[in-house]
Structure 1
Amino acid sequence: MSSHNMTWISYPSKNLAFISPEEIEAFIASQNIISRLMHCYIAFFVPTGLIAGICILIIFIKKYLQYKVIENLDLLLLHFTISNIIMIFLSFTVITRPDYLKATHLTCNILSFFFNFSYFSSRYVLILILLVLLLKRFPSRTALSKATQRPILCVGFVLTYAFCLSLTEAVLVGTDNYHLETDCQLDPLFAWPEYEITKFTFGFGIPSFLQILCFTVLFAKAAPAEAPALQQHIRTYPAVYTISITIFISHLFYNLMILFRTTFKLQKSIGTPKNELVMNIAEIVLFCESCASLLHALESLSGRVQICMECWC
């Protein structure tokens, strides 16, 4: 249980007494980089992502009010949109960088819970979207195919699964010192090592395997004669496949940094200012991806964007 005692851990930037004179210049440079990245994210990515997300919501609301029905794929995309909008709002915690948000352990754990809930939800609903598109190209009468034709059931399953994973992560943050103030990240530094391992496994490892499996079947399996050509299928849903690739790359970077942070915990080391810089970059890249995904999702609805423009006018 010694690995669960996180009272010793802190950020390198909070331990200036242990930074050698040779590292001071590098430390100042890393602080400047983090600050500039944060300002770029808040100034450019956040407005773009939120506007794209709001437009998508308007499009779906107008469509539902007009037709009183919503398609299976649209409901999954709506779920994906809401999850990413929540992640963007939670990303406002980086406004204080290069410093960190001051909060109690309990408040930080609550923020982490909602962040993980949105994170897991968006990741697994994307897998469902890929599966629905795969079944459009390879029609099947299996139980899996019937399940995807009931999108409300699928969304309910994803929400329940994401809730259970987020609750597990909240427990792995630790149950001590809830009343004490700390430097808060959405993935708390003071979490037990099992927190990062669980997040890597269920937030990246398993969904990435399923994602690669979907792509493998799409490209390797021969489609029925009546199915459209592969290039035509991809051109019909380009945004989904673009989002899948960008999510894989950004989440790979982020989750590798999460694992590196775990190794430092197990070695009883706080790392270096450079390690802290890379972790902050990975976190901002993750939030940038949420904004970019909403923009790509809006592009997939390009035929309906006029509805949104009319609402603004």
Structure 2
Amino acid sequence: MSAHNMTWISYPSKSLAFISPEEIEAFIASQNVISRLMHCYIAFFVPIGLIAGVCILVVFIKGYVQNKAMEHLDSLLLHFTVSNITMILLSFTVITRPDYVRVTQLTCSVLSFLFNLSYFSSQHVLVLMLLILLLKRFPPRTALSEVTQRPMLCVGCVLLCAFCLSLTEAVLVGTDNYHSETDCQLDPLFAWPEYEIVKFTFGFGIPSFVQMLFFTTLLAKEAPAGAPPLRQHIRTHLAVFIVSTTTFICRLFYNIMILFRTTLKLQKSIGTPKNELVTNIAEIVLFSESCASLVLILCCHKPCRDRILEVIRNCRRAHSTNTHLEIPVTPMSPETMSQ
């Protein structure tokens, strides 16, 4: 249980006594980098991501109200959108960087639970979307096809799985000193080493392996007769393929830093200011990916793209109508002209 005693751990930026005079300049530079990245993320990525997320929700909800139904893929994209909006809202905890939010360990554990719920949900529903697209191209003759045709059941399974994993992670944060204050990240520094291992395994490792398996099958397996060409299949569902690629790249960097932090914990080391800088960069990249994914869905998913183009055309038509309005001219009498 010695690995579970995390009272010794702290951030390198909070342990200035261990920094040599030669490292002070590098420490100040890393703090400036973290601060500038945070301001860039809050000022640019957050507004764009939230606006894109709200637009997606409006398009899907309005389409459901009009048609009294929603396509299976749209239902999963709606769940993915809600998960990413939640992650963006929770990312406001980085607004104090290069410092950290100062809360009790209990509050930090609750924030971590909500973050992990959104993190696991978005990752697993993305895998489910890729599975549905794979089954569209290679229709199976099993009960699996019937299950994937029930979107509410699929979303329920994803939420149940994400809830169980998030609850497990909440336990691995630790059960001591709940009322003491701490510097909080959404992935708490004081969590047990098993926390990062479980998160990497079930939040990135296994889902990424399954995604690569789906992509390999899609590219290598010959489609049945009558199936559309592969290029057309990818173009039709471009949003899912682009988002899954973007998510993999950004979360790969983030999960590498998670494993590196686990290594430091097992070595009883707090690391260096440079390690802290890279970890903070990876966290901001993860949050930026949530914003970018929503923008990609809005621009690449056909129902959303068509709705946005329709709004733009209506605005242009209204502007053109206003600029071509004739201004009435009052006729002037000869007496008035003579004056």
Report TM bin, short chain. Answer: over 0.9
Aligned to 2:305: 302
Aligned to 1:51: 51
CA-CA distance at 1:188 after TM superposition: 0.1
Task: After TM superposition, list the pairs within 5 Å mapping 1:271-310 onto structure 2.
Answer: 271-299=271-299, 300=301, 301-306=304-309
CA-CA distance at 1:306 after TM superposition: 4.7
Larger radius of gyration: 2
State yes or no: 1:201 paired with 2:201. yes
CA-CA distance at 1:137 after TM superposition: 1.0
Aligned to 1:232: 232
CA-CA distance at 1:6 after TM superposition: 0.4
Q: Give a deviation string over 1:48-89, Cα, whole Å, max 9, x none.
A: 100000000000111111111111111000000000000000
Contact conserved, 1:102 with 1:181, CA < 8 A, in 2?
Answer: yes
Contact conserved, 1:59 with 1:308, CA < 8 A, in 2?
Answer: no
- In the aligned structure 1, how far is the partner of 2:21 from the partner of 2:239? 49
Report the 3-state secondary structure (helix = DSSP H, G, I; strand = E; otherwise coil) of the residue aligned with 1:232.
helix
Write the letter of the residue equivalent to 1:10. S
CA-CA distance at 1:141 after TM superposition: 2.3
Aligned to 2:258: 258
* 5+ long unaligned stretches in structure 1: none
Report the 3-state secondary structure (helix = DSSP H, G, I; strand = E; otherwise coil) of the residue aligned with 1:259.
helix
Distance 1:307 1:65, change over 3 A: farther
- In the aligned structure 1, how far is the partner of 2:284 from the partner of 2:72? 32
Write the letter of the residue equivalent to 1:14. K
State yes or no: 1:77 paired with 2:80. no
Task: After TM superposition, list the pairs within 5 Å mapping 1:70-109 onto structure 2.
Answer: 70-109=70-109
CA-CA distance at 1:144 after TM superposition: 1.4
Distance 1:307 1:59, change over 3 A: farther
- In the aligned structure 2, how far is the partner of 1:179 from the partner of 1:292? 37
Root-mean-square deviation over aligned CA pairs = 1.3
CA-CA distance at 1:304 after TM superposition: 2.2
- In the aligned structure 2, how far is the partner of 1:308 from the partner of 1:88? 26
Distance 1:306 1:65, change over 3 A: farther
TM-score, length-scaled by structure 2? 0.90
- In the aligned structure 2, how far is the partner of 1:247 from the partner of 1:65? 30
Task: After TM superposition, list the pairs within 5 Å mapping 1:16-27 onto structure 2.
Answer: 16-27=16-27
Write the letter of the residue equivalent to 1:279. T
CA-CA distance at 1:308 after TM superposition: 6.5
CA-CA distance at 1:157 after TM superposition: 0.2
Aligned to 2:146: 146
Report the 3-state secondary structure (helix = DSSP H, G, I; strand = E; otherwise coil) of the residue aligned with 1:77.
helix
Write the letter of the residue equivalent to 1:34. I
Report the 3-state secondary structure (helix = DSSP H, G, I; strand = E; otherwise coil) of the residue aligned with 2:93.
helix
Q: Give a deviation string over 1:158-180, Cα, whole Å, max 9, x none.
A: 00000000000000000000000
- In the aligned structure 2, how far is the partner of 1:141 from the partner of 1:38? 50
State yes or no: 1:113 paired with 2:113. yes
Contact conserved, 1:55 with 1:308, CA < 8 A, in 2?
Answer: no
Farther-moved stretch of structure 1 (297-306 vs 74-83): 297-306
Task: After TM superposition, list the pairs within 5 Å mapping 1:155-234 onto structure 2.
Answer: 155-234=155-234
CA-CA distance at 1:130 after TM superposition: 0.6
Contact conserved, 1:116 with 1:166, CA < 8 A, in 2?
Answer: yes
Task: Please identify runs of 4+ aligned residues in structure 1 that moved more than 2 A.
Answer: 304-311
Aligned to 1:267: 267
- Give the % identical residues: 76
Distance 1:184 1:307, change over 3 A: farther
Write the letter of the residue equivalent to 2:30. S
Aligned to 1:125: 125
Q: Give a deviation string over 1:14-43, Cα, whole Å, max 9, x none.
A: 000110011000000000000000000001
Farther-moved stretch of structure 1 (188-197 vs 223-232): 223-232
* 5+ long unaligned stretches in structure 2: 319-339
Report the 3-state secondary structure (helix = DSSP H, G, I; strand = E; otherwise coil) of the residue aligned with 1:102.
strand
- In the aligned structure 1, how far is the partner of 2:85 from the partner of 2:226? 38
CA-CA distance at 1:307 after TM superposition: 6.5
CA-CA distance at 1:195 after TM superposition: 0.2
Report the 3-state secondary structure (helix = DSSP H, G, I; strand = E; otherwise coil) of the residue aligned with 2:182.
strand
TM-score, length-scaled by structure 1? 0.98
- In the aligned structure 2, how far is the partner of 1:163 from the partner of 1:114? 9
Distance 1:298 1:263, change over 3 A: same
- In the aligned structure 1, how far is the partner of 2:308 from the partner of 2:277? 39
